[in-house]
Amino acid sequence: MRTTKHLTLSIFLILFSCASLVAQVKVKRGAVVYTGSASNTSAPATVDEKKLREATPEWQTIKDEDIDPSSARGKQLIVKMNKRIREAVKSVASNESRDMVTRKKDLTDAQGKEVVDLTDKVVDEIDS
């Protein structure tokens, strides 16, 4: 009986310690995740959405031509801009071996994982 209790306790402790090794990052409800998943990331990264947006030619057109983002033309440009950003993020994340990228403000708990900011690299990718 005593051996069974010790064995059960040992198994529980092993499972508990393994669970803590795979603890995932936490993101806000409604978070923008550009690539990957918060539930199974081992190498998370973040980006500054505002800087990425400002690096796109679509956003520059909206600003330069004073286009209302809620107008038909504005919505078309925003869709194109978001596609450009998502593709650039995916490319940089792949090159940097990052399996999840979200906006900085959406990551609430890294669960002890090293989080890298990819903003500058993504801006460079958008500019190229």
pTM of the model: 0.78
Question: Each residue of 17-40: pLDDT tens digit?
Answer: 544 445 478 888 888 889 988 888
CA-nearest of 90, 107, 109 to 99 is 90
CA distances from 70 to 75, 89, 112 (A): 6, 25, 40
pLDDT value, residue 60: 97
CA distances from 102 to 41, 54, 58, 68 (A): 11, 17, 21, 26
C-alpha 97/C-alpha 47 separation (Å) is 15
**What domains appear along the chain, each with residue ranges and CATH number?**
24-127 (3.30.910.20)
CA 77 to chain centre: 23
Q: For residues 1 and 49, which has the higher predicted lDDT (pLDDT)?
A: 49
Question: Each residue of 83-120: pLDDT tens digit?
Answer: 999 999 999 999 999 999 999 988 887 778 888 999 99
